[in-house]
Amino acid sequence: MVIQSTGTSRRIAPFKESVWLGVDAMFDRHPDMIFFGNGAPANDLMPLDRLKWASAQAWEDGLNQLSYGETEGYAPLRELIVRQMAAIGAPATADEIVVVNGSQEGMDIVGRTLLHEGDIVLVEGPTFPDAIRLYQSHDAEVVGMEMDKDGIVVERLAALLDRLPRTPKFIYTIPTFQNPSGTTLPLDRRHALVNLARERGILLVEDDPYSAFRYEGEPLPPLRALEPNSVYLGTFSKTLAPGLRVGWISAPSPLFGHFFAVKEVMSISNSRLTTRVAYHAAAGGFLEEHVAEAREAYRIRRDTLLAAMEEYLPPQATWVRPEGGFFVWVDLPEEIDTDVLLTKAAANGVIFLPSSWFFPDRSKRNSFRLSFSAIPVEQMAEGIRRIGEVLT
Ligand code: PMP
């Protein structure tokens, strides 16, 4: 039989933009490559022994963990998530929580549920690249909002909204220790954003993977605390381990019902096994203890990185000191194209992620992202020295 219909759907066209393959190929260019691209927890900061113990606890549930079901998530885990959200000031009830296979699936469910062809989604410019491609795959037009060192410039947002041909379907934002810019939206801007969104009738979708990792300054309320009618995406990927693929969406009804239905069709149910592992690992105060320990280790990594940047990067490179999270964003003079610079950097033994990846139209080319979470402290200075070398 000749298979005639091998044409792929237009929905996957944005997936072809993946830049990771190009980066993978760069690893061969130097015998000891230093990779500032990994936004995951460090291997030594994932609680392996506790996860092994939690797996054994999960198996105690016997056959009960081997069936379908629990589409909305393992009940004790949902209760734990409610307590965790309460601790950061974001009120939610267990019947508003849908557990998902990582917040990436949460974003997919939100997109699938809400987006029609041609809908506009506003994102920070720069933002998390897989959010851009995901919303594009749901036929949305993804538009970047202007940012400065304090995140979205909310006072410019009203003018952008006036210019757009349609009211955006939602605003997707990472207000705390943003990926990739490291910025945090201050309280006055949080209020202003919530007020503007309310005035214009736009849903806020808040993605919050990093807020547990604050190294200095006072915690800020999540948008969800200021606007109960918003969607909140959470994850255990950074606080426990990304390989568990356990995250959640918190949404008021009627959105909860839609998200639940979409989740059911997309994946039938959550993994009963890994959601139990996440629950047992996190429960009994372990998560808080573990995060406190990891936070200190990440703070040392951030400080080591910032000190190396002061020492080895030329004066034309500028950056904002992140109060938490995993990332530092570096701006260079306009004439430097960091896609080109990356090729030289890789030959010199270091990889960063160029700014073009993080903008819907790929237009900004003179910045790059450094992720410090997974780099051993001993390699930090050498990595930055190598970047400094190709910049001078
Ligand atoms: N959102 C943001 C902002 C992220 O940085 C990441 C992971 N890098 C994700 C979502 C995906 O997280 P998860 O592993 O929970 O799917």
CA dist 341 to 238, 318, 352, Å?
29, 16, 10
Same domain, 39 and 176: no
Given this model, what pLDDT does residue 222 score?
Answer: 98
In the beta sheet, which residues pair with residue 100?
A: 247
Specify the number of domains making up the chain: 2
**pLDDT tens per residue, range 138-190:** 999 999 999 999 999 999 999 999 999 999 999 999 999 999 999 999 999 99
Same domain, 248 and 132: yes
Given this model, what pLDDT does residue 158 score?
Answer: 96
**Of 109, 123, 179, 326, which is best to mutate to test ligand 1, by the most ligand atoms within 8 angstroms of its C-beta?**
179
pLDDT band of 2, cuts 50, 70, 90: low
Mean per-residue pLDDT of the chain: 95
**Of 98, 100, 109, 128, which is best to mutate to test ligand 1, by the most ligand atoms within 8 angstroms of its C-beta?**
128
Cα angle value 314/318/324 (rounded, 5°): 125
CA dist 106 to 175, 213, 241, 366, 391, Å?
17, 21, 17, 31, 39
Same domain, 66 and 185: yes
Given this model, what pLDDT does residue 120 score?
Answer: 98
Given this model, what pLDDT does residue 4 score?
Answer: 63
**Closest ligand 1 atom number to CA of residue 178:** 3
Asked whether 295 and 134 are in contact (CB, 8 A), the reply is: no
pLDDT band of 13, cuts 50, 70, 90: confident
Residue 1 reports pLDDT greater than 70: no
Asked whether 143 and 164 are in contact (CB, 8 A), the reply is: yes
Instruction: Examine residue 3 and state whether it is found in any structural domain, yes or no.
Output: no
Given this model, what pLDDT does residue 24 score?
Answer: 86
Given this model, what pLDDT does residue 378 score?
Answer: 96
Given this model, what pLDDT does residue 17 score?
Answer: 67
Same domain, 153 and 252: yes
Given this model, what pLDDT does residue 204 score?
Answer: 98
Same domain, 345 and 363: yes
Token pair in block for residue 306: 């910032």
- E strand residue ranges, 146-280: 147-148, 151-152, 170-173, 203-207, 231-235, 247-250
Which position has the higher pLDDT, 18 or 42? 42
Which position has the higher pLDDT, 205 or 11? 205
| Cα 1 to averaged position of ligand 1 atoms, centre (Å) | 42
Residue 18 reports pLDDT greater than 80: no
**pLDDT tens per residue, range 181-217:** 999 999 999 999 999 999 999 999 999 999 999 999 9
CATH value at residue 41: 3.90.1150.10
Given this model, what pLDDT does residue 12 score?
Answer: 86
**pLDDT tens per residue, range 285-343:** 999 999 999 999 999 999 999 999 999 999 999 999 999 999 999 999 999 999 999 99
Instruction: Spell out which residues line ligand 1, taking CB within 6 angstroms.
Output: 39, 102-104, 128, 174, 179, 207, 209, 235, 237, 242, 247
Per cent of the chain over pLDDT 70 is 98
- Mean pLDDT computed over 272-276: 96
CA dist 227 to 158, 177, 332, Å?
18, 20, 37
Residue 5 reports pLDDT greater than 70: no
Same domain, 274 and 175: yes
| Domain that residue 29 falls in | 10-46+292-391
Same domain, 256 and 353: no
- Mean pLDDT computed over 8-25: 81
Same domain, 91 and 199: yes
| Cα 3 to averaged position of ligand 1 atoms, centre (Å) | 37
Distance CA 157, CA 220 (A): 21
Token pair in block for residue 147: 């940012």
Q: Distance between alpha carbon 237 and the CA centroid of its chain, in Å? A: 10
**Closest ligand 1 atom number to CA of residue 104:** 16
Q: Distance between alpha carbon 279 and the CA centroid of its chain, in Å? A: 21
Distance CA 117, CA 233 (A): 23
CATH value at residue 124: 3.40.640.10
What is the CB-side half-sphere exposure of residue 315 using CA atoms within 13 A?
0
